[in-house]
Amino acid sequence: MKIIIAGAGEVGYHLAKQLSNEEHDISVIDINGSQLERTDAVSDVLTITGSSTNIATLNSANIKDTDLIVAVTSLESVNINTAILAKKLGAKRTIARVSNAEYTEPENKELFRSLGIDELIYPEELAALEVEKLIERAAATDVLEFGDGKISLLGLKIDSNAPIGRKSLEEISSMHTEHDFRIVAIHRGMRTIIPCGKDLVMPNDQIFAISTPAGIEEIIKLAGKDHSKIENIMILGGGKIGRKTAKLIEDTVNVKLIESNKDKSIDLADYLQKALIIQGDGRDLDLLAQEGIVDMDGFIAVTDDAETNIITCLMAKHLGVKKTIALIDNVDYIPLTQTIGLDSLINNKLIAANNISRFIKKANIVSLVTLQGIDAVVLEYEANPKSPVTKKPVKDIKFPENAIIGGLIRNGEGYITVGDTQIMENDKVVVFALPASISKVEKLFQ
């Protein structure tokens, strides 16, 4: 597939990095040469210096033969104009990143399609939806759902008193024989391990488990986590993500939202029906204490300042808050923050890149997701009758090293794969893999 990415900022950079592993023909356009150099250094792409709203620049990228153009610069107007021009010049499909929530309303989709824009991506809304999922599965550091929740991937930090601590995967399997979940990866220190039966799960490891709905409670319990419901949440930051998050959850939990700006606080009070809006500096420990932070089950820090988000979440954790979620805009911080006690991290740019990648299907890939701070990807494939993966039971397939089949969805039901599992035509198969193994996995599904 020929793809043009307009914008080499964080979204474009991570999207190019993801897609270059799949052997697409990718061009990246940006007016900033240094950003293009960074993208060129980590991915096999063609970089073009120039404006994506310049017709000559688009023609130099061979826009008339392009299957998909993704406009993800930091400027909404540039993205919209790029997508409109690209469609007129022959691009088959267009995606534009926007910063106005109104544009993504269902009733406005047809308007943008008539202009030539097939899809709109609003990263802040995607981040709020991610926060909502993390609140629903409060024990997890990461939550991904496949087939409307028929199969889930949960990231879980292993507590020192966890029943599966210092046990091998073989021992864990013997402790629970229902086959409702499967541990598919262990993140230890800065290394991601695709485990075999003799590998041990150690305290402070972060594990990733594929689970059916029936297995979620059990794997959470085995990880040593309390699955009690979150009822009281404090949100720091009333920007786009904080505002949307509060709107999504205010009907199901008690929300206190702290915002320092007076005008924004007044607007939030009008917009939100049930959340309590507090104007003040969320870094002020006295204010947090006065507003009952010790009684909170969750603390979400989504200000524009990553350092503030990290520090306030650590303060909340120290005061006994069970679940903390921090917005981290600098991806370089992600590996560090996962070692200092934060529960969950979100990065709206990475979330946007993952969301965009689901529109790009190759070798029967239904979706591809990169986990934040983890050197691994989660892929969902659709098996076809000619796929080598359908010819033998899973135990007899020569599956690549550093890749593992976790589960599958068949006829609307989720199943965890075991050695005797036979993958069939039209199964949706969830695979966990390190980047170097993706091309080999792909061949099994072609």
Cα separation of 207 and 219, whole Å? 10
Cα separation of 309 and 15, whole Å? 25
Tell me the domains of the chain and their CATH numbers: 2-121 (3.40.50.720), 131-222 (3.30.70.1450), 230-321 (3.40.50.720), 352-445 (3.30.70.1450)
Instruction: Write down the pLDDT at residue 337.
Output: 66
Cα separation of 388 and 410, whole Å? 18
Length in residues, the chain: 446
Phi, psi of 119 (to 5 degrees): -140, 145
CB 103 within 8 A of CB 95: no
Q: Name which of 110, 86, 100, 122 is nearest 5 in CA terms.
A: 86
Cα separation of 295 and 195, whole Å? 39
Inter-helix orientation angle 123-136/240-249, to 10°: 40
Cα separation values, 428 from 69, 101, 145, 381, 390, Å: 27, 32, 13, 6, 12
Instruction: Write down the pLDDT at residue 53.
Output: 97
Q: What is the pTM of this model?
A: 0.84
The backbone region for 188, taken as left when phi is positive above 0, alpha when psi lies in -120 to 50, beta otherwise, is beta
DSSP codes joined into one string, 56-91: HHHHHTTGGG-SEEEE--S-HHHHHHHHHHHHHTT-
Largest CA distance in the chain: 64
- Burial status of residue 184 (CB atoms within 10 A of its CB: 0-12, 13-18, 19 or more): buried
What is the identity of the amino acid at 323? K
Cα separation of 417 and 333, whole Å? 35
Mean pLDDT, the chain cut into blocks of 10 residues (446 residues total)? 94 87 86 92 89 97 96 97 97 96 92 96 94 90 89 91 92 82 90 91 93 91 82 96 96 96 96 96 91 95 94 92 91 71 87 83 70 81 90 92 94 93 94 87 87
H/E stretch holding 136: helix 123-136
Tokens 């059916």 belong to residue: 212
The backbone region for 7, taken as left when phi is positive above 0, alpha when psi lies in -120 to 50, beta otherwise, is left
Structure tokens that stand for 228 in this block: 């009690």
Instruction: Write down the pLDDT at residue 361.
Output: 58
Handedness of CA 402, 186, 180, 175 (dihedral sign): positive
Residues 72-110 as b or e (16 or more Cβ within 10 Å = b)? bbeebebbbbbbbbbbebebebbbbbbeeeebbeeeeee
Cα separation of 310 and 63, whole Å? 42
Structure tokens that stand for 91 in this block: 């691009």
Instruction: Write down the pLDDT at residue 363.
Output: 52
